Amino acid sequence: MATVRDVAALAGVSISTVSRALSAPGMVSESTRERVEQAAKKLDYRPNPTARGLRVGRTTTLGLLVPDLENPFFASITKAVQSRGRTSGYAVLIADSDEDASQELELVSMLAAQVDGLVLASPRSSDVSLLAAVDGLPTVLLNREVDGLASLAVDNAGGVRQSLGHLRALGHRTVAAVSGPAGSWSGAERRRGLEVAGAELGVEVVDVGHFRPTFAGGVAAADLVAASGATAVLTYNDLQALGLVDRLRQRGLEVPRDLSVVGFDDVSVATLVSPALTTVQIPLAALGRGAVDLVVEQLDGGDDAPAPGRRRAAAAREDRELLDLEDAAPDGGGDRDDDLSDLAEDHLPQRSRLSVELVVRGTTSVPAAVA
């Protein structure tokens, strides 16, 4: 690869002029800008991002952590994050934790070292572990809220409320609920939402327990649901709903004739099966885009301070020095200009919610007893 030097030599200017001509075209004369550009093109020069990153303290890379890429929910989010990241000038590194909380933390730590910002989709780790792992890096949580971190979640309570309302309107009085993974934040939100909505609407909801957020999880839950006496069921996500329907069918129970089922997420497969799944639609692309925007906002918002990376480094070092009261002699670092007062964040990390919408398709109907 050609370097600034090669271009400088060919254009007959200094390396700094090359750098300027390419990244701050307004700071050089028209004529030199053109000469530099031509030289650059001729040599097919591409600034080395690693070198730039080292110098500037920015990698222009975002990290994305997901629990399972094969889950279409996260595949869609990944796609959206990558797409939005690119238009915002960021490459994206992915990490798949395989639904494993301990791997998750390790992955976050690895990512943290080489990215400017983090998007953590449905992380399973504890609040404190998470906070520690991201280590002050601009971060956005998806489907999870943690004090001190920005987040973007969906209106889980609203989603289950709509589902329950729909079922109630059809005539269902007792509905089963299959929960997701035990540690799931949105699962907890949904359970809470279900309780109040159930009370309000006068429908009895019976929780059949925790199951993996997969097709297999739904299969596993099916028999419990069938035995619950409910005439309808709410699943943690669409994949579970699919598994549930499948197992029910094997047992000779027809959906929605014998049991109504409503999923959550509206991943694309929800419409690929028949009957198509009644489910709560989450704006997947908006979720992914929003996450990137929130990270970028933090990145740019911190721009009155130096570059974020260096900012953090300087602040951290200062903290240590303050604490230890050793190493009092200035060690030649010229970056002492940062002001401790701006350590106090005056705007809290943002928490946003996206609204969701029940979409009624083929898996819900009037209960047999009523019809």
Binding at 227: pick from a copy of itself, DNA, none (beta carbon under 5-8 Å per type):
none
H or E stretch covering 245: helix 238-250
Decide whether 164 or 299 has the Cβ nearer to a copy of itself: 299
13 touches DNA by CB under 7 A? yes
196 touches DNA by CB under 7 A? no
Distance CA 368, CA 274 (A): 20
Tokens of 189: 């939100």
Residue owning tokens 């238009």: 87
Decide whether 105 or 157 has the Cβ nearer to a copy of itself: 105
Binding at 96: pick from DNA, a copy of itself, none (beta carbon under 5-8 Å per type):
a copy of itself
Secondary structure, 3-state, 144-209: CCCCCCEEEEECHHHHHHHHHHHHHHHCCCEEEEEECCCCCHHHHHHHHHHHHHHHHHCCEEEEEE
- B/e letters for 291-313, b = 16+ CB within 10 Å, e = fewer, are bbbbbbebbeebeebbbbbebbe
28 touches DNA by CB under 7 A? yes
> Which residues, including other chains, have CB under 8 Å from residue 26's CB and lie 6 or more apart?
none
Distance CA 150, CA 152 (A): 7
How far the first Cα of the chain sits from its last, in Å, is: 74
Of 14, 102, 250, 268, which one interacts with DNA (CB under 7 A)? 14
Count of chain residues binding DNA (CB under 7 A): 35
Binding at 87: pick from DNA, a copy of itself, none (beta carbon under 5-8 Å per type):
none
93 touches a copy of itself by CB under 8 A? yes
86 touches a copy of itself by CB under 8 A? yes
Q: Are strands 204-210 and 232-234 parallel, antiparallel or unpaired?
A: unpaired
Which range binds DNA by CB under 7 A, 24-32, 68-76, 237-245, 254-262?
24-32
To a copy of itself, the closest distance from the beta carbon of 145 in angstroms equals 26
Cis peptide before 256 (omega within 30 of 0): yes
96 touches a copy of itself by CB under 8 A? yes
Distance CA 12, CA 35 (A): 9
> How far from 268 is each of 66, 277, 281, CA to CA, in Å?
18, 10, 10
To DNA, the closest distance from the beta carbon of 138 in angstroms equals 18
Decide whether 18 or 146 has the Cβ nearer to DNA: 18
51 touches a copy of itself by CB under 8 A? yes
Residue owning tokens 């999870």: 144
To a copy of itself, the closest distance from the beta carbon of 7 in angstroms equals 12
Count of chain residues binding a copy of itself (CB under 8 A): 57
Site string for a copy of itself, 136-175 (x = CB under 8 A): ----------------------------------------
Residue owning tokens 């990137």: 292
79 touches a copy of itself by CB under 8 A? yes
Distance CA 206, CA 173 (A): 11
Site string for a copy of itself, 214-243 (x = CB under 8 A): -x--------------------------xx
Q: Are 270 and 238 in contact (CB under 8 A)?
A: yes
- B/e letters for 36-74, b = 16+ CB within 10 Å, e = fewer, are bbebbeebebebeeeeebeeebbbbbbbbbbbbeebbbb
Binding at 61: pick from DNA, a copy of itself, none (beta carbon under 5-8 Å per type):
a copy of itself
Q: Which of residues 298-357 bind DNA (CB under 7 A)?
A: 310, 313, 332-334
Q: At what angle do helices 215-227 and 238-250 cross, to 10 degrees?
A: 60
Binding-site ranges for a copy of itself (CB under 8 A): 1-3, 5-6, 9, 43, 46, 48-51, 53-54, 59, 61, 68-70, 72, 75-76, 78-79, 82-83, 86, 91-96, 98, 107, 109-111, 113-114, 215, 242-243, 246, 249, 268-269, 272-274, 312-313, 316-317, 320, 327, 331
Binding-site ranges for DNA (CB under 7 A): 3-5, 12-20, 22-23, 27-29, 31-33, 45-48, 51-52, 54-57, 310, 313, 332-334
